């Protein structure tokens, strides 16, 4: 049975390891180009008012500069447009150098002296993603920084009226929180660009201040959505390389009807098309260039500052981050275009497909496609060109003479930029007033490129393929054969709409005739969110595409599309099969915060099993056995799932609200509209997968407790020479006076400095008790190995067995019974130590924050541990002297042993989004045990 248990938890640990490996390393290599500084970067500190400097001694405001520009701005006489960079969790203010350097180099080539002044804020590299107590302080300092920046421009005739904010990670959340301040003038900031910022919810909610901060930001942007419509916000997620902040969390929780809020993943950004990790999104050259280009297009030529026109801002951001058309931004579209009369430059195409490569020498070339003979047989016209210049290239002819088009309208605005070429798809139903289509293949500058066009019947080039079930584990394959008679084929992936689904999509291409062909582009298109991904391959080839989602489908109206921009006269085989490692990676990506909760629930049930064993047999069970039995999904998951089903009924919700019960916890929704509409039901798939998450959490508890036992054995061996051998079960206990003194000292330290420090110190005191018990077990075991020799001496009369020392219960101190009693106490305290690790772990971020800021303040303010610091210290100190003998004689033990199960169910119900609540549930289970030691 023990071997089967170890094998089961080894298998569960293997699943967890496979999921973690896929989450952390199962993605493409970093394809971002590095940004470099051409001159040494300098950061000039901006003086703030004395009141601000005294109030925020750990923070600072700097101006980025290089070389000559840094010398010119030494006196802070600035004339550019202000941009303020905000670092994120543990981020440095020096991360602004990529944005600042690229903006500076691009300004050197601009006419009229247009440039930017890039400022950056030093937030002392605080861990604000784990400790939310300083988020409000950072927001207030940001307000002061914005006002200080604008004061630097008072000498200008037309000074800037607002500052553009660029926030990385939690810096983007702080930027949006600026509008929650009561005295903040919303006109000071009209554009915010965030990079890998978790807007939807915090990654881990380890203290209540973090959730309160998010709640205030959400309430402000939801309740005053009309007042904040003039504020344009763009959120960019990193993609699958960013395992710290999944891209689903970067979606802005705003109504879909708000036109000034955009969310996009970096893989879908035109001219970027790469996935970035959490840090490289700051310096990724492709993304930095898109940001800087947008900044220059946002400049009003009259004021030489950022425009305040919301429509203009959205047009620029859509141009550079959403859909990059071929027309230059700001270029007016002519309703009628006239062509020069060069009959030799015109060619009419009567075939179904055109493939043309321009010659080396420059020429004027136009192709005419007649619509009259194609309207009934075809639905769309598809055209692509490797010429990526921003020029018009497809027109609709409205007046034609014998051989050429005289007057036409420009149809190029529908062009979409893909990684290898630009593509235009025209619906023939929208071209009723057009007689011919004109495709320009002119290369006046002598640059060679290729143009391919064809008539399409979209219905015949669209195929439906149901994806395999998630439980198929790769054994079932859905495949389809595409005989490429066209340039574009679309495969609808049916039943692919949940975030936990993951597939390996293989596309194998082969051609009968080998010749130079354009690269193929495979696009995984998600209609409900801008998270498209692109793959560029040559022909023939075998390519694997990762089929995963950042967000679940909000409705049943659309399917994920696999668009194949193919080569003609080739054959493509598309195979789709479930990838178990990627499924596990997706589950951990979305449900990872639930694993610690189930780990705590397992340890809590193990603690209950230990108390039940003591109650029934007056003996403590082995630590590994009780932890192994802590996996009880039928007792934990089933009540939670039934509760969620009942909450779907309105009458039960009314009863729930009448009883003033808190909201049931659930993971953040995987789609922003679900987060915005609170009446929308919570997604059910995390609850369906909860048994698997429970198994993973139980594996962490089982192997974690095993490692803890091994560490205690190792440390006890190291410390054994420093202690006298002991044979008493009371080794490591504290006298009443010492208990009171230590409790008072730790309480004072916790209330005047940092509660996490006191909790950690109390945990170490209890750990010392466990170490002494381990030493005692080893000492007794070694002594009892000599027992046969002592019995022989007793038979010869050399040892007086009646005069052996005995303990207070009459049990000889050197006996198998005494050894068993110490072992029982050791198993009990090992179980308690496993529980005590959790509060110490959950309070570690605030302890690290306090240590990093110790030079500025001795007291942690605010302290998230203050409500439970004193109770935890008292419980830890009381349980140091606890043993199985005292528990067996307590009348409270039967009641105490019944509490862990309902507390575990309640913990799983109310703690996935509020991880800090785990400590309160553990405290509710430990306080009765401490009373058992007293009563």
Closest residue by Cα to residue 160 from 81, 103, 62, 232 = 81
DSSP letters for 73-123: TTT----SEEEEEE--TT--GGGGHHHHHHHHHHHHT-GGG--EEEEEEE-
Instruction: Give the separation between CA 873 and CA 745, rounded to whole angstroms.
Output: 10
Domain-embedded: residue 414: yes
3-state secondary structure of 537: strand
Would you give the distance in Å from CA 36 to the centre of its chain? 27
Question: What is the domain-level CATH number for residue 167?
Answer: 3.40.50.1820
Angle between helices 2-25 and 690-719 (to 10 degrees): 100
Residue 369 neighbours by CB under 8 Å, 6+ apart: 348, 349, 354, 381, 436, 437, 438, 439, 453, 455
Query: Are 452 and 466 within one domain?
Result: no
For residue 89, what pLDDT is reported? Answer: 93
Instruction: Give the separation between CA 830 and CA 812, rounded to whole angstroms.
Output: 25
Give counts: helices (H), strands (E), the chain. Answer: 28, 30
Q: Is the pLDDT of residue 727 over 50?
A: yes
3-state secondary structure 357-413: ECCCCCCCCEEEEECCCCCCCCCEEEEEECCCCCCCCEEEEEEECCCCEEEEEECHH
Q: Quick one: tokens of 442?
A: 């002119």
Is 169 an annotated catalytic residue? Answer: yes
Determine the average pLDDT of the residues in 885-890: 89
How many CB atoms within 10 Å of residue 586?
Answer: 25
Task: Select from 410, 431, 459 the last residue of a domain.
Answer: 459
Helix (H) or strand (E) holding 7: helix 2-25
pLDDT category of residue 804 using cuts at 50, 70 and 90: very low
Domain-embedded: residue 142: yes
For residue 335, what pLDDT is reported? Answer: 59
Residue 13 neighbours by CB under 8 Å, 6+ apart: 699, 703
Domain-embedded: residue 797: no
Determine the average pLDDT of the residues in 475-503: 90
Q: Is the pLDDT of residue 908 over 90?
A: yes
Q: Using CB atoms within 10 Å of the CB of residue 658, give its burial: 0 to 12 exposed, 13 to 18 middle, 19+ buried.
A: exposed
Residue with tokens 């409900």: 528
- Top mean-pLDDT range of 201-210, 220-229, 802-811: 201-210
Query: Are 343 and 205 within one domain?
Result: no
Domain-embedded: residue 789: no
Q: Which domain holds residue 496?
A: 461-578
Alpha-carbon dihedral 748, 751, 753, 759, rounded to 10 degrees? 80
Query: Are 313 and 360 within one domain?
Result: no
- Structural domains of the chain, count: 4
H helices of 672-735, in order, are 672-676, 685-688, 690-719
Instruction: Give the separation between CA 296 and CA 108, rounded to whole angstroms.
Output: 12
Instruction: Give the separation between CA 560 and CA 575, rounded to whole angstroms.
Output: 15
Strand segments (E) across 579-688: none
Residue with tokens 């047009």: 315
Q: What is the mean pLDDT of the chain?
A: 89
Instruction: Give the separation between CA 420 and CA 383, rounded to whole angstroms.
Output: 13
Query: Are 252 and 148 within one domain?
Result: yes
Helix (H) or strand (E) holding 505: strand 503-511
Q: Is residue 255 within 8 Å of residue 278, measured between CB atoms?
A: no
Instruction: Give the separation between CA 41 and CA 209, rounded to whole angstroms.
Output: 36
Task: Select from 533, 562, 578 the last residue of a domain.
Answer: 578
Closest residue by Cα to residue 560 from 579, 544, 583, 576 = 576
Q: Is the pLDDT of residue 256 over 80?
A: no
Pairing of strands 380-385, 422-427: antiparallel
Instruction: Give the separation between CA 797 and CA 804, rounded to whole angstroms.
Output: 14
Closest residue by Cα to residue 566 from 545, 541, 583 = 541
pLDDT category of residue 540 using cuts at 50, 70 and 90: confident
Instruction: Give the separation between CA 381 and CA 500, rounded to whole angstroms.
Output: 37
Query: Are 554 and 627 within one domain?
Result: no
Instruction: Give the separation between CA 307 and CA 230, rounded to whole angstroms.
Output: 12
Determine the average pLDDT of the residues in 356-370: 89
Characterize 477-499 residue by residue with b for buried, 16 or more Cβ atoms within 10 angstroms of its Cβ, and e for exposed.
ebeeebebbbbbbebebeebbbb
Q: Using CB atoms within 10 Å of the CB of residue 617, give its burial: 0 to 12 exposed, 13 to 18 middle, 19+ buried.
A: exposed
End-to-end CA distance of the chain: 38
Closest residue by Cα to residue 874 from 925, 935, 923 = 923
Domain-embedded: residue 36: yes
Residue with tokens 């998630």: 470
Domain-embedded: residue 569: yes
Question: What is the domain-level CATH number for residue 442?
Answer: 2.60.120
pLDDT tens, residue by residue, 507-538? 999 887 767 788 899 999 999 999 999 999 98
Q: Quick one: tokens of 601?
A: 């629930």
For residue 670, what pLDDT is reported? Answer: 60
Q: Is the pLDDT of residue 680 over 60?
A: no
Q: Is residue 309 within 8 Å of residue 322, measured between CB atoms?
A: no
Characterize 712-725 residue by residue with b for buried, 16 or more Cβ atoms within 10 angstroms of its Cβ, and e for exposed.
beebbeeeeeeeee
Query: Are 289 and 221 within one domain?
Result: yes
Q: Is the pLDDT of residue 311 over 60?
A: yes
pLDDT greater at residue 668 or residue 655: 655
pLDDT tens, residue by residue, 263-284? 999 999 999 999 999 999 999 9
Determine the average pLDDT of the residues in 735-761: 94
Choice among 43-52, 294-303, 547-556, 720-729 with the minimum mean pLDDT: 720-729
For residue 672, what pLDDT is reported? Answer: 59
Query: Are 599 and 702 within one domain?
Result: yes
Residue 30 neighbours by CB under 8 Å, 6+ apart: 241, 274, 276, 277, 280
Backbone angles phi, psi at 390, to 5 degrees: -85, 75
Choice among 118-122, 223-227, 349-353 with the minimum mean pLDDT: 223-227
Q: Is residue 765 within 8 Å of residue 742, measured between CB atoms?
A: yes
Domain-embedded: residue 327: no
pLDDT category of residue 795 using cuts at 50, 70 and 90: very low
Q: Is the pLDDT of residue 675 over 50?
A: no
For residue 682, what pLDDT is reported? Answer: 47
Query: Are 593 and 630 within one domain?
Result: yes
3-state secondary structure of 382: strand
Determine the average pLDDT of the residues in 46-71: 94
Q: Quick one: tokens of 101?
A: 């350097």
Q: Quick one: tokens of 297?
A: 């297009």
For residue 593, what pLDDT is reported? Answer: 87
Query: Are 658 and 636 within one domain?
Result: yes
Model confidence, pTM: 0.91
Query: Are 242 and 161 within one domain?
Result: yes
Bridge partner residues of 534 (DSSP)? 523
pLDDT tens, residue by residue, 81-131? 999 999 999 999 999 999 999 999 999 878 777 899 999 999 999 999 999
Q: Is the pLDDT of residue 142 over 80?
A: yes
For residue 707, what pLDDT is reported? Answer: 95
Instruction: Give the separation between CA 288 and CA 270, rounded to whole angstroms.
Output: 12
For residue 444, what pLDDT is reported? Answer: 81
HSE, CB side, 13 Å, CA atoms: give it for residue 64.
Answer: 28
Determine the average pLDDT of the residues in 643-664: 87
Task: Select from 562, 578, 594 the last residue of a domain.
Answer: 578
pLDDT greater at residue 733 or residue 671: 733
Q: Is the pLDDT of residue 815 over 80?
A: no
Instruction: Give the separation between CA 866 and CA 763, rounded to whole angstroms.
Output: 16
For residue 80, what pLDDT is reported? Answer: 92
Instruction: Give the separation between CA 118 and CA 715, rounded to whole angstroms.
Output: 53
3-state secondary structure of 158: coil
Residue with tokens 């489908």: 553
Length of the chain: 935
Domain-embedded: residue 415: yes
- Kindly name the residue from 169, 275, 552, 705 that is annotated as catalytic: 169
Query: Are 574 and 667 within one domain?
Result: no
Q: Is the pLDDT of residue 669 over 70?
A: no
Q: Is the pLDDT of residue 698 over 70?
A: yes
Bridge partner residues of 37 (DSSP)? none
Q: Is residue 671 within 8 Å of residue 251, measured between CB atoms?
A: yes
Query: Are 492 and 562 within one domain?
Result: yes
Instruction: Give the separation between CA 120 and CA 654, rounded to whole angstroms.
Output: 49
């Amino acid at each position: 049975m023990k071997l089967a248990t170890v094998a089961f938890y080894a298998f569960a640990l293997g699943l967890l390891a496979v999921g973690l490996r896929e989450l952390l390393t199962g993605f493409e290599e970093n394809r971002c180009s590095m940004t470099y500084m051409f001159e040494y970067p300098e950061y000039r500190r901006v003086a703030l008012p004395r009141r601000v400097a005294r109030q925020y001694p750990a923070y600072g405001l700097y101006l980025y500069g290089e070389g000559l520009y840094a010398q010119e701005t030494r006196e802070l006489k600035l004339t550019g447009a202000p941009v303020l960079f905000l670092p994120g969790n543990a981020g440095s203010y020096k991360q602004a150098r990529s944005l600042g350097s690229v903006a500076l180099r691009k300004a050197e080539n601009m006419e009229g002296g247009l440039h930017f002044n890039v400022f950056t804020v030093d937030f002392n590299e605080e861990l604000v993603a784990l400790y939310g107590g300083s988020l409000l302080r950072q927001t207030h300092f940001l307000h002061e920084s914005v006002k200080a920046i604008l004061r630097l421009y008072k000498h200008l005739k037309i000074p800037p009226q607002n500052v553009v904010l660029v926030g990385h990670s939690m810096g983007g959340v702080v930027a949006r929180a600026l509008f929650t301040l009561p005295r903040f003038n919303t006109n000071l900031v009209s554009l915010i660009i965030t990079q890998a910022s978790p807007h939807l919810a915090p990654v881990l909610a380890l203290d209540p201040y973090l959730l309160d901060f998010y709640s205030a930001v959400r309430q402000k942007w939801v309740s005053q959505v009309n007042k904040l419509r003039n504020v344009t916000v763009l959120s960019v997620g990193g993609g699958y390389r960013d395992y710290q902040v999944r891209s689903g969390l970067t979606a802005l929780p705003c109504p879909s009807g708000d036109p000034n809020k955009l969310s996009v993943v970096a893989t879908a950004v035109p001219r970027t098309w790469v996935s970035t990790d959490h840090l490289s999104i700051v310096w990724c050259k492709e993304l930095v260039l898109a940001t800087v280009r947008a900044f220059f297009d946002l400049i009003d030529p009259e004021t030489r500052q950022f425009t305040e026109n919301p429509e203009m801002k959205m047009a620029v951001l859509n141009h550079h981050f959403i859909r990059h058309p071929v027309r230059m931004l700001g270029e007016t579209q002519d309703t009628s275009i006239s062509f020069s009369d060069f009959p030799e430059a015109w060619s009419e195409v009567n075939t179904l497909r055109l493939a043309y490569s321009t010659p080396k020498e420059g020429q004027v070339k136009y192709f005419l496609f007649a619509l009259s003979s194609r309207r009934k047989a075809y639905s769309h016209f598809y055209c692509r060109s490797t010429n990526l210049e921003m020029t018009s290239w497809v027109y609709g002819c409205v007046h034609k003479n014998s051989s050429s088009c005289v007057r036409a309208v420009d149809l190029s605005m529908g062009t979409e930029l893909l990684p290898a070429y630009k593509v235009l798809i025209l619906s023939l139903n929208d071209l009723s007033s057009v007689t011919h289509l004109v495709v320009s293949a002119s290369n006046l500058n002598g640059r060679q490129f290729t143009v391919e066009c064809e008539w399409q019947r979209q219905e015949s080039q669209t195929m439906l393929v149901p994806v395999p079930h998630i439980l198929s584990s790769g054994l079932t394959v859905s495949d389809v054969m595409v005989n490429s008679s066209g340039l574009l084929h679309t495969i609808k992936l049916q039943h692919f709409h949940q975030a936990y689904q993951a597939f390996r999509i293989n596309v194998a291409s082969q051609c009968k005739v080998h010749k130079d062909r354009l690269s193929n582009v495979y696009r995984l298109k998600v209609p409900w969110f801008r998270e498209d991904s692109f793959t560029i391959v040559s022909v023939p080839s075998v390519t694997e595409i990762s089929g995963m989602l950042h967000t679940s489908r909000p409705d049943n109206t659309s399917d994920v599309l696999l668009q194949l921009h193919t080569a003609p006269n080739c054959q493509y085989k598309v195979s789709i099969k479930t990838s178990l490692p990627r499924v596990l990676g997706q589950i951990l990506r979305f449900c990872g915060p639930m694993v610690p909760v189930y780990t705590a629930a397992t340890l809590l049930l193990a603690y209950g099993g230990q108390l039940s064993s003591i109650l029934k047999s007056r003996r403590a069970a082995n630590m590994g056995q009780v932890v192994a039995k802590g996996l009880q999904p039928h007792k934990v998951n089933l009540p939670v799932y039934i509760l969620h089903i009942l909450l779907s009924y309105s009458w039960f919700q009314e009863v729930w609200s009448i009883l003033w019960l808190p909201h049931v916890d659930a993971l953040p929704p995987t789609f922003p509209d679900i987060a915005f509409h609170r009446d929308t039901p919570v997604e059910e798939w995390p609850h369906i997968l909860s048994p698997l998450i429970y198994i993973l959490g139980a594996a962490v508890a089982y192997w974690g407790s095993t490692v803890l036992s091994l560490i205690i054995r190792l440390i006890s061996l190291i410390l054994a020479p420093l202690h006298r051998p002991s044979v008493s079960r009371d080794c490591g206990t504290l006298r009443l006076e010492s208990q009171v003194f230590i409790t008072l000292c730790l309480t004072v330290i916790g209330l005047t400095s940092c509660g996490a420090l006191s909790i950690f110190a109390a945990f170490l005191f209890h750990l010392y008790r466990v170490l002494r018990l381990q030493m005692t077990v080893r000492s007794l075991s070694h002594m009892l190995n000599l027992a046969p020799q002592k019995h022989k001496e007793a038979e010869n009369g050399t040892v007086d067995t009646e005069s052996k020392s005995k303990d207070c219960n009459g049990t000889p101190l050197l006996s198998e019974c005494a050894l068993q009693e110490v072992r029982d106490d050791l198993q009990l305290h090992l179980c308690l130590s496993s529980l005590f690790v959790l509060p110490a772990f959950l309070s570690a971020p605030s302890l690290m924050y306090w240590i990093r800021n110790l030079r500025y303040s001795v007291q942690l303010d605010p302290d998230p541990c203050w409500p439970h610091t004193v109770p935890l210290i008292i419980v830890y100190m009381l349980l140091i002297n606890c043993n199985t003998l005292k528990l067996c004689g307590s009348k409270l033990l039967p009641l105490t042993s019944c509490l862990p199960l309902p507390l575990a169910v309640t913990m799983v119900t109310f703690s996935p989004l509020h991880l800090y609540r785990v400590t309160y549930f553990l405290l509710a289970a430990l306080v009765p045990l401490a009373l058992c030691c007293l009563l």
